[in-house]
Amino acid sequence: MQIVITGGAGFLGARLARTLLKQGKLSLAGAPAQPIERITLVDRAGAPTDLAADARITTVTGDLNAQLAADADATVWREADAIFHLAAAVSGECEADFDLGMRSNFAATHALLEKVRTLGTKPVLVFASSLAVFGDSPEQPLPKVIEDHTLPTPQTSYGIQKFIGEQLVADFTRKGFVRGRSVRLMTVSVRPGKPNGAASGFFSGMIREPLAGLPAACPVPDATPVAIASPARTIEGIIRAAEASDAQWGPRTALNLPSLATTVGEMAAALERVAGKAATALLDRTPDPTIQRIVKTWPGHIDTVRARALGLMSDENFEAVIREYVRENPDAVKLPGVA
């Protein structure tokens, strides 16, 4: 089996690749599992060292749009049995730079779908969408609980671009060009590594940085609701989307992945239980109106009946999520006394 991961050098792309390599095989759309022969990571950056050292990993570096536009060599796309399309510009970047978002999120997704349509290979294609397709506004307030059939009402450029991507995947699937599966990722926390340009980035930073003994911004009120998923649960959902048969998957509309409903205040309290008051003392509670304006439109409570039917579950609680991060990233924890 040949697999392509766009955004493959990023945090989720690399974690997905490691998980697939560990599995060694994958079932696509209900078919019997096949050995994974090659995973191609497509990204602007090179693969992490551990992945680059694996003989099953191939890397293609450069701008995704430029690669898809090139006619010289389409081998990577032609041979792909499955494509996980994770490459994207993140929410804060898209609000600050409209053209970047349209190129990275809309144009690249359209170009990828057109490439496989032209090749006629009909791969399984998993598209990483976002809970940002749901947005609250005075004119059209969100319901208290988002359900599988709730109408998306995005309030940011990023959310609009992701929703367009979902609809493109659905129509290319309807026409038989791909076997598309769109999954809406929740706010992923705790992400290791450096901060990114996402408006949601502080949801990881407010945990990650204090555990490293560093100050961190927490720019929204304690009562701010958030739908969280750990990296492990997120990758489970992405892989399960590729595995599910057409009958199990159901409608062509995007699937909301499971989430843990919590608040910023509850997240800080969980951090204190794990790492003590020294950790929460490092939180800078200075409000950021730009971040607040974006984050407050996102839903905090999501009922994921379709996902549960696929065997997917949310994290138990946020303290468990933090402890999982500590176990997986012991070298990143510098604060004394972390329990």
| Buried/exposed 184-219: b ≥16 CB within 10 Å, e otherwise | bbbbbbbbeeeebebbbbbbbbbbbbbbbeeebbbb
Q: For 78-135, what is each residue's pLDDT tens digit?
A: 999 999 999 999 888 999 999 999 999 999 999 999 999 999 999 999 999 999 999 9
For the chain, the structural domain boundaries read: 2-186+230-256, 199-225+260-303+313-332
- Alpha-helix residue ranges (DSSP H) falling in 60-193: 64-69, 75-78, 91-96, 98-101, 108-119, 157-174
Distance CA 140, CA 287 (A): 26
Name every residue whose Cβ is closer than 8 Å to that of residue 82 and which is 6 or more positions away in sequence. 1, 2, 3, 4, 26, 28, 123, 124, 125, 126, 242
Neighbour tally for 62: CB within 10 Å: 11
Neighbour tally for 75: CB within 10 Å: 10
| pLDDT for 143 beyond 90 | yes
Query: Coil, strand or helix: which one is 171?
Result: helix
pLDDT value for 238: 98
Q: For 10-42, what is each residue's pLDDT tens digit?
A: 999 999 999 999 999 999 999 999 999 999 999
Between β-strands 34-35 and 25-26, what pairing exists: parallel, antiparallel or unpaired?
antiparallel
- The full DSSP string for 212-277 is TT--EE--S-TT-EEEEE-HHHHHHHHHHHHHS-HHHH-SSS-EEPP-EEEEHHHHHHHHHHHH-H
Instruction: Report the share of the chain in percent with pLDDT over 70.
Output: 99
Amino acid found at 270:
A
CA-based nearest residue to 248, from 308, 327, 313: 308
| pLDDT for 71 beyond 70 | no
pLDDT value for 42: 97
Q: For 209-224, what is each residue's pLDDT tens digit?
A: 999 999 999 999 999 9
Calculate the CA dihedral of residues 75, 77, 80, 85 and round it to 10 degrees.
150
pLDDT value for 72: 62
- Enzyme catalytic residues: 158
Report in angstroms the alpha-carbon separations of 158 from 26, 96, 136.
Answer: 31, 10, 14
CA-based nearest residue to 126, from 279, 241, 18: 241
Give 337's pLDDT tier (boundaries 50, 70, 90): confident
CATH superfamily assigned to domain 199-225+260-303+313-332: UDP-galactose 4-epimerase, domain 1 (3.90.25.10)
Q: For 180-216, what is each residue's pLDDT tens digit?
A: 999 999 999 999 988 877 778 899 999 999 999 999 9
Distance CA 135, CA 295 (A): 9
Neighbour tally for 112: CB within 10 Å: 28
Give 2's pLDDT tier (boundaries 50, 70, 90): very high
* CA dihedral for 123, 75, 24, 127, sign (positive or negative): negative
pTM for the full predicted model: 0.95
Q: Would you state the structure tokens that stand for residue 114, as one six-digit string?
A: 């057109």
Distance CA 251, CA 61 (A): 34
Fold of 2-186+230-256: Rossmann fold (3.40.50)
Give 74's pLDDT tier (boundaries 50, 70, 90): confident
Instruction: Classify residue 315 as left (phi > 0), alpha (psi -120 to 50) or beta.
Output: beta
